Amino acid sequence: MTTRRVFLAAAAAVLAASVFGAAARAEETIRIGEINSYTRLPAFTQPYRNGWELAVEEINTAGGVLGRKIEVISRDDNGKPTDAVKIAEELVSRDGVVMLAGTFFSHIGLAVADFAQQKEVMFVAAEPLSDALTWAKGNRYTFRLRPNTTMQAAMLAEEAAKLPARRWATIAPNYKYGQDAVAAFKAELLKRNPDVEFVAEQWPPLFKIDAGAEAQALANADPEAIYNVTFGGDLAKFVREGKLRGLFEGREVVSLLSGEPEYLDALKDEAPAGWIVTGYPWYAIDTPEHRVFVNAYRAKFNDYPRLGSVVGYNTFKAIAAIIAKAGSTDTDKMIAAAEGITVESPTGPFIFRAIDHQATMGAYVGRTALKDGKGIMVDWFYADGADYMPSEEEIRQMRPSN
């Protein structure tokens, strides 16, 4: 009898362990590793963080994905590629994440993309804009959300080609994003207007701009129009020093990203007026899906969204959609699911193209203006990213076969 009781007790224990173990496994979260330059560029990355936190809250409140909640393990890369790669390694090997996401600076995004290829882990790059990320250095494990520099430069070049200006000057931070942005704008503008010429280039180091000297050098070249790629603190300094020297008087300025609230808001009443920009006029976008997003964002954070908020939100909505379609967190299955997937978003649906893993998310193009002592965008329109991408044949020629 004793032996039988022991056997029955052991069997019950095994059954209980099996039941509770299955329940525990059902409760396991899906871990996503998120990396970004939070301390290096808080004006963009904090709204971005708010955006993805809102998305994850909505996903989990609705039941999660595959019956499991999303858990984000977020780390700060300090604006350093070496830190980002070290963090990526820890997230994958120690924390057991099934996917990597995030990054802002292009050189960091490229470093994490290379890591993703080496370790065969999926990476959804949220913010870096370098063309190389999904084209010249693209790999099967890396997907990118935001429209890249060529796409946004083409949007701006389309408007710039309508101007009478023939003599152009450029200013951009001297790293991969800035280099790509200038090269793309030149190529796109010359394609549309072959008789333009570029008479000066300035390449300040990132976040170490000598804005007075840069503005004076551009003025000395006497261009009819300027293409600007500076952002963040560099943009603010360039605007102030350019105004002091009359650089913008009687000249058209075409400026990448400068219509984003992250950068216009910091300038307050010093924000430039009349520039042709890409940006995010959240206060004027009146579509049902955008209203829902803005209301939810304001309810949670008691603040209005910035472009970073949309990027963060779209990134994690896309991740959830990919996992749901894959029906699994297996890397190969998630990659297959992501290729060609359509994702709904506050700015309208977008697709991750199968051929290059570049999303068709677009950008808003318009002019800057001042209203109530604050910079805004006016006369804007939404440029669908799909309309500004190279052909599939062009992509095949520039993208490695991996």
Backbone φ and ψ for 320, nearest 5 degrees, come out as -65, -40
Q: At 205, which amino acid appears?
A: P
Judge residue 39's burial from the number of C-beta atoms within 10 Å of its C-beta, 0-12 exposed, 13-18 middle, 19 or more buried: exposed
What pLDDT sits at residue 10?
45
- In this prediction, residue 18 has a pLDDT band, given cuts at 50, 70 and 90, of very low
Lowest mean pLDDT: which of 28-37, 279-288, 391-400?
A: 391-400
User: For the segment 237-259, what is each residue's pLDDT rounded down to a tens digit?
Assistant: 999 999 999 999 999 999 999 99
- In this prediction, residue 373 has a pLDDT band, given cuts at 50, 70 and 90, of very high
Mean pLDDT of 3-30: 48
Please give the mean pLDDT across all residues of the chain: 93
Judge residue 221's burial from the number of C-beta atoms within 10 Å of its C-beta, 0-12 exposed, 13-18 middle, 19 or more buried: middle
Asked if the model's pLDDT at residue 11 lies above 80, the reply is no
Using DSSP's 3-state secondary structure scheme, residue 51 falls into helix
Spell out the residues 6+ positions from residue 63 whose beta carbon is closer than 8 angstroms to its own. Answer: none
* CA separation for the pair 179, 5 (Å, rounded): 76
Spell out the residues 6+ positions from residue 109 whose beta carbon is closer than 8 angstroms to its own. Answer: 103, 125, 127, 128, 130, 133, 144
Mean pLDDT of 315-337: 98
* CA separation for the pair 354, 300 (Å, rounded): 35
Task: Please report, rounded to a whole number, the percentage of residues in the chain having pLDDT higher than 70.
Answer: 93
What pLDDT sits at residue 117?
98
Q: Identify the structural domains of the chain with CATH numbers, from first to last.
A: 26-147+286-362 (3.40.50.2300), 150-284+364-388 (3.40.50.2300)
Retrieve residue 247's tokens.
């650089």
> CB–CB of 281/318 below 8 Å?
no
Retrieve residue 373's tokens.
């002592």
What pLDDT sits at residue 14?
41
* CA 88 and chain centroid, separation: 18
User: For the segment 155-182, what is each residue's pLDDT rounded down to a tens digit?
Assistant: 999 999 999 999 999 999 999 899 999 9
- In this prediction, residue 26 has a pLDDT band, given cuts at 50, 70 and 90, of very low
* CA separation for the pair 316, 102 (Å, rounded): 10
Residue in the block written with tokens 């800057």? 368
Please list the residues that pair with 255 across neighbouring strands.
228, 277
Phi-psi region at 340: left, alpha or beta (left = phi > 0; alpha = psi -120 to 50): left
Asked if the model's pLDDT at residue 24 lies above 60, the reply is no
* CA separation for the pair 169, 48 (Å, rounded): 32
Asked if the model's pLDDT at residue 7 lies above 80, the reply is no
Closest to 385 measured CA to CA, from 140, 135, 112, 147: 147
Phi-psi region at 257: left, alpha or beta (left = phi > 0; alpha = psi -120 to 50): left
Closest to 154 measured CA to CA, from 128, 188, 180: 188
User: For the segment 87-102, what is each residue's pLDDT rounded down to a tens digit?
Assistant: 999 999 999 999 999 9
What pLDDT sits at residue 17?
42
What pLDDT sits at residue 3?
45
What pLDDT sits at residue 400?
82
Asked if the model's pLDDT at residue 219 lies above 90, the reply is yes
- pTM of the predicted structure, to 2 decimals: 0.90
Mean pLDDT of 298-325: 98
User: For the segment 133-161, what is each residue's pLDDT rounded down to a tens digit?
Assistant: 999 999 999 999 999 999 999 999 999 99
What pLDDT sits at residue 92?
98
- In this prediction, residue 27 has a pLDDT band, given cuts at 50, 70 and 90, of low
Spell out the residues 6+ positions from residue 7 whose beta carbon is closer than 8 angstroms to its own. Answer: none
Mean pLDDT of 208-215: 97
> CB–CB of 258/368 below 8 Å?
yes
Q: Does an H or E element contain 255, and which?
A: strand 252-259
